[in-house]
Amino acid sequence: MKLAFPEMGRYSIRTKLLTINFVTIGTVLFLLTIILQGIGFVSGRAVMVEDMRAQVSMIASNSTAALVFNDPRAANEILSALRASPMVRRAALFTLDRQVFASYQRDTAEAGPMIISTENENGHAFALSYLDIYQNVFVENKRVGILYLRADMKPLYLRLLWNGVIVSVLALVALAVGFVVLNRLQRTISLPIIHLADLARQVSEKRDYSIRSPVESADEIGELAKSFNEMLKQIQTRDAELAHELMERKKAEQRLDHLANYDTVTGLPNRYYFNDRLSMALSRSNQSHELVALMFLDLDNFKIVNDTLGHHVGDELLHYVAHRLQAVLRPGDAICRVGGDEFAIILENLTDASQAEMVAHKCMKSLSGAMDFSGHGVYISVSIGISLYPQDTTDMHELLKNADTAMYHAKAKGKNTCQVFLSEMKGMAQKRLTLETNLRRAIERNEFHLHYQPLIQFPGREIVGVEALIRWMHPELGVVNPADFIPLAEETGLIIPIGAWVLQTACEQAKAWNDMSLEPIIMAVNLSGRQFKEKNIVAEILSVLKKTGLDPRLLELELTESILMENDSSTIAKMRELDRAGIRLSVDDFGTGYSSMTTLKNFPISILKVDRSFVRDLPDDGDDAAITEAIIAMAKSLKLSVTAEGVETEEQALYLEEKSCNRCQGFYFSRPAPALEITAKLQKSNAIKIQENKIPLYQRLLWDGSHRKRRPNP
């Protein structure tokens, strides 16, 4: 909106209101004074005309006789009576022929001839300083002369001046009174507005939206105050909402920040945070010239816990491990979770590697013993790799790599141990990378082949079958063990084509042996969890059997405990289908997982293969003996056959035989060997003879029941 008087914009509303009122009242009083003066002038003039006319009439009637009798002297005397009227300046009596008959002139009046014009014979005329009056003089209705009188206007003006002075004084008094009254009245408008403006300033200065203006009237100002209060209320609400929103956003940011830097399962800092901590520790070490140890910890067998007992137990375990590890560290040490079951610890201000090793042993000790998770007794151990800065390297990434490499060495040493990085380990990480690249090409290049390890039947110790074990003949690395590449193959999914190749080759070999065998030769093939998860695995297995012509009853599939722990409907369905086809299923490395009797009962399993870790220290180790016996007892009660793995001594074999173990396998009887060597072994043990009869012998044996003495009783 454009103001009519923009220059007024800088004055206060009070000043403006006073000015407006003052100017308005002043203007009104001024106009009133002018009008009053005007009226005074007009009415004063009319009164004057009337007064003069009365005098003229009186003189005219008195002068008739003097005119009639032509007596100018008498006429002059009559006119001189006008002396008593101070306003009259001069007067004259004219004859009809316009000759001055008598005249009167006040001394002060201006001299000059007295002339009368024809049109002014009866009436009056004004000039600025005088009033002329004419009147015919009659005698018996006969006009005999003309009387002329000039009155002075000054007395009228004087009176008007006085009146003006009085009116002006009165107007000024009225103006003053009006000003005082209006000054008081304007406060009813200006004060609430000033108050509102004050409040608005306070609100904007203090940002206090809880302030409210009192609503004192029902007029527009009251309305304004109400709206102002409503506006403040809305701002206050919005402000509170905004503050809440900001707080929530801040919390969310903090949560995100926490999520970005901390691990939700263990509450420990994660890899990102860890990298920061490590680089800070390294720069501190550069100044203090003391050693920093980076320890990489990887839980042994965590995958089994996770796969068999479920992720929630896995998470609980990780949380518990984090808690235990934290408890052995000093306040300045940093621990982070850097991967699935991997932790990293940064130790500062060390003087030599032995201090780090001491901490590593403390960590291992803190995790020893059984832990109870959701009713499951879990044993966990940890493999630790240690690398020192700047002793091993001055590069942070290399330090990480070194600790990782050392950790892998610790694992290779047999787990639950720690290993300090040594410079000769450097090639290992590179080896893993090369391994992955080469693994992809290994199938096409025909670098895989199978070794077979005989399965020995108790009692009698005859070969009843073999387990197919893959070998990778790497052109540069030489023979690579399955333990070194099967996990990698599972990780990369390459286990699917590799597993298919193993099954095909093993079945072909089994078929060949069985075709020339007197006795049925069982072929045990390892199936990885990843392979078993394949939708069409059953169809593929059956198709291989069909293609190779191997009797399904001669095929044993070795499954891991983790497959059983999946326990979903498709796993059971697949196993039942295989069982219906006549294929026998065994649980490999039994005892390392957490499958219970109830789990085993749910599955169509025929054989338990006791893990070689329980066999290793038999018969001297009481715990292992108890476990092995318990497994055998449980298997019997479930009508399962038991195979013991890793039999290396006669004592072990005797012990197992005595405990009614059904079968065993191990270096004591035979190391895994190529097909040719196994053929020779089979021939030597009279299991294979060149057959004239082409009907596979095992069928005959199955028909006449004689096989029972050779085959484990499931």
Binding site for ligand C2E (CB under 6 A): 453, 469-470, 481-483, 486, 499, 502, 526-528, 558, 588-589, 612, 645-648, 665-667, 672
Of the candidates 363, 402, 358, the one whose C-alpha atom is nearest the C-alpha of residue 383 is: 363
Backbone angles phi, psi at 601, to 5 degrees: -65, -30
Rounded least distance, CB 337 to ligand C2E, Å: 28
Nearer of residues 271 and 303 to ligand C2E, judged by Cβ: 303
Separation between Cα atoms, residue 644 and residue 614, nearest integer Å: 9
Nearer of residues 33 and 526 to Mg ion, judged by Cβ: 526
Rounded least distance, CB 472 to ligand C2E, Å: 10
Nearer of residues 404 and 611 to Mg ion, judged by Cβ: 611
Q: Out of ligand C2E, Mg ion, none, which partner does residue 470 contact, by CB within 5 to 8 A per kind?
A: ligand C2E
Cis peptide before 619 (omega within 30 of 0): yes
- 698 within 8 A of 517, measured Cβ to Cβ: yes
Q: Out of ligand C2E, Mg ion, none, which partner does residue 667 contact, by CB within 5 to 8 A per kind?
A: ligand C2E
3-state secondary structure 171-186: HHHHHHHHHHHHHHHH
Rounded least distance, CB 281 to ligand C2E, Å: 39
Rounded least distance, CB 449 to Mg ion, Å: 17
Of the candidates 423, 331, 321, the one whose C-alpha atom is nearest the C-alpha of residue 379 is: 321
Of the candidates 332, 328, 330, 388, the one whose C-alpha atom is nearest the C-alpha of residue 363 is: 328
Nearer of residues 490 and 645 to Mg ion, judged by Cβ: 645
Nearer of residues 328 and 541 to Mg ion, judged by Cβ: 541
Separation between Cα atoms, residue 342 and residue 344, nearest integer Å: 7
Rounded least distance, CB 598 to Mg ion, Å: 23
Nearer of residues 308 and 393 to ligand C2E, judged by Cβ: 308
Separation between Cα atoms, residue 150 and residue 127, nearest integer Å: 10
Q: How far from the centroid of its chain's Cα atoms is residue 693's Cα? A: 78
Nearer of residues 26 and 482 to ligand C2E, judged by Cβ: 482
3-state secondary structure 366-389: HCCCEEEECCEEEECEEEEEEEEE
Separation between Cα atoms, residue 327 and residue 261, nearest integer Å: 21
Rounded least distance, CB 369 to ligand C2E, Å: 26
Of the candidates 231, 194, 244, 192, the one whose C-alpha atom is nearest the C-alpha of residue 215 is: 192
Separation between Cα atoms, residue 265 and residue 312, nearest integer Å: 10
Nearer of residues 293 and 502 to ligand C2E, judged by Cβ: 502
Rounded least distance, CB 666 to ligand C2E, Å: 3
Measured CA distances, 693 to 159, 464, 607, 681, 708 (Å): 168, 21, 32, 22, 22
Nearer of residues 532 and 698 to ligand C2E, judged by Cβ: 532
Rounded least distance, CB 344 to ligand C2E, Å: 29
Binding residues vs Mg ion (CB under 5 A): 526, 558, 588-589, 645
Rounded least distance, CB 472 to Mg ion, Å: 16
Q: Out of ligand C2E, Mg ion, none, which partner does residue 333 contact, by CB within 5 to 8 A per kind?
A: none
Q: Out of Mg ion, ligand C2E, none, which partner does residue 696 contact, by CB within 5 to 8 A per kind?
A: none
Separation between Cα atoms, residue 122 and residue 134, nearest integer Å: 5
Separation between Cα atoms, residue 80 and residue 82, nearest integer Å: 5
Q: Out of Mg ion, ligand C2E, none, which partner does residue 672 contact, by CB within 5 to 8 A per kind?
A: ligand C2E
Q: Out of ligand C2E, Mg ion, none, which partner does residue 690 contact, by CB within 5 to 8 A per kind?
A: none
Q: Out of ligand C2E, Mg ion, none, which partner does residue 483 contact, by CB within 5 to 8 A per kind?
A: ligand C2E
Q: Out of ligand C2E, Mg ion, none, which partner does residue 648 contact, by CB within 5 to 8 A per kind?
A: ligand C2E
Separation between Cα atoms, residue 295 and residue 399, nearest integer Å: 10
Q: Out of ligand C2E, Mg ion, none, which partner does residue 481 contact, by CB within 5 to 8 A per kind?
A: ligand C2E
Q: Out of Mg ion, ligand C2E, none, which partner does residue 666 contact, by CB within 5 to 8 A per kind?
A: ligand C2E
Nearer of residues 439 and 470 to ligand C2E, judged by Cβ: 470
56 contacts: CB under 8 Å, gap ≥ 6:
133, 135, 147, 149
Rounded least distance, CB 466 to ligand C2E, Å: 12
